[in-house]
Chain A
């Protein structure tokens, strides 16, 4: 191990997978993972779901066991923020004043939630959700809250709304757009989710934003909306999107544009630096090569492995189709592919029962599918995208045709 170390900045889903994959792919370097948060890396998805509801504990959040890292020769520096990168001498400076030299550098700094830009946004009962520390605060606050206002009807807002509503809290969700998840899902799926939330007594207000927070002491009591109405609540949860943590890269002169720009193999504009996960933006082969910054476990894991392959001069792990899931109540939404830009959409299943998929096509090609409680459609859609098996609108619209058979036959 005479080569200088591989240093990974950001100790979460992408960083951990990158470090482990680099080792798996034969890297002989010392591997150091530097992370701002305390403790070892954990899964974020349960934070708005099973962890918030109390069904999952801290132990079950662990991404990998502590002893695995040691056995793989991966060192962790928790509670350490990297404050700058000097690319000329290949060294980092940490918040503790430590200087760390690197031979290879991986940036897996993720993203952070956008804050409300209103006076009072720092009040004790205005909460964001990204880290386990924030999830703990929210869980605690939820124990004594009777009513909650969720600002933003995106995935995190909706998952939090579902968990809080199931805990008996009266929840109102406000969303600026005329419907839920405007840029992420089709109208049919958004409507189905809306229906489930309403059946759990969640109230929705569309086309409005929070205009002012009225405080009593350190707590918000009333939120005035843009239409001048007022909502009184014990708790405010803000889920209005994210900002990539790309400042470190930008200050070091790497090309960034709403995320650290990477090529198809995870390389940044500096050949000894790769990036992966929520902080990275890449031309996406499944979306007509648009530059996308995806925020999903799949993306973080697959980009991490691809970047690790690049660092170890291994053949890339191949193109993996994007996929995502969201759990709300007992509904599982799964999305395969990138569905924006579809010109034809076909429903399979029974929307009235909330069990259906929407298959999307562009210029006659299958580009992705959304599935609500139809996991087998999702699994097949993913396989078709990954193995470039073509599907046609008429086939997927006909439920008398077994998609699994179609896929099997086209593989022969």
Chain B
């Protein structure tokens, strides 16, 4: 199973095995990663599942949809080039080893 590593804002990290097809949000929730909320249940509405994806692998992800892109303007922490909504990123074999950093605020 591919693995994702979540880097927390306090410097610690949590790695989780994610079945292909599940979202990075689901992975974070299942592993009790603090710092992600996902208030809308992953329906791309709340922008409380914000993560920063490691820059060098950004190009491997499907680009954000128009909706995700617009909603990213509403994240609580600063929006950066590598900001994504974790409920919109599905795990694939190719993404194995991906590292995402959590912002220090979500709401």
Give residues in A with beta carbon < 8 Å to B: 43, 45-46, 49-50, 56, 59-62, 64-65, 67-68, 71, 297-298, 301, 325, 327, 332, 334, 373-376, 378-380, 382-383, 404
- Could you say which residues of chain B place their CB within 8 Å of the CB of A382? 74
With contact pairs A64-B32, A65-B32, A375-B67 given, residues A45 and B73 touching in the complex (Cβ less than 8 Å): no
B40 engages A45 (CB within 8 Å): yes
| A interface majority secondary structure | helix
The answer, among A68, A297, A374, for a CB contact under 8 Å with B39, is: A297
Partner of B45, one of A325, A373, A404: A325
B residues lining the A interface (CB < 8 Å): 22, 26, 29-32, 39-47, 67, 70-71, 73-74, 107
B67 CB to closest chain A CB (Å) equals 5
By the criterion CB–CB under 8 Å, are A301 and B43 in contact?
no
Of all chain B residues, the one with the shortest Cβ separation from A62 is: B29
Q: Check B71 against A375 for contact (C-beta < 8 Å).
A: yes
Shortest CB-to-CB span from A185 to chain B, Å, is 16
For residue B74, which residue of chain A has the nearest CB?
A: A379
A334 touches B41 (CB 8 A): no
Chain A residues near B46 (CB-CB < 8 A): 297-298, 325
Q: How far apart are A318's CB and chain B's nearest CB, in angstroms?
A: 11
Contacts of A59 in B (CB 8 A): 26, 30
Q: How far is the CB of B47 from chain A (nearest CB, A)?
A: 8
Given contacts A297-B46, A375-B67, A376-B73, contact A325 B40 (CB under 8 A): yes
Separation of A327 and B41 alpha carbons in the complex (Å): 13
Question: Which residues in B have their C-beta under 8 angstroms from that of A298?
Answer: 39, 46
Asked if A383 and B74 sit within 8 Å, CB to CB, the answer is yes
Q: Which residues of B lie under 8 Å from residue A49 when comparing CB positions?
A: 43
CB <8 Å contact, B45 and A334? yes
Within 8 Å CB of A332, what residues of B?
44-45, 67
Min CB gap B83→A, angstroms: 13
Which residues of chain A come closer than 8 Å to B22, judged between CB atoms? 60
Which residue from B43, B47, B71 sits with its C-beta under 8 Å from A327? B43
- What residues of chain A lie closer than 8 Å to B71, measured between beta carbons? 375, 379
A334 CB contacts on chain B under 8 angstroms: 45
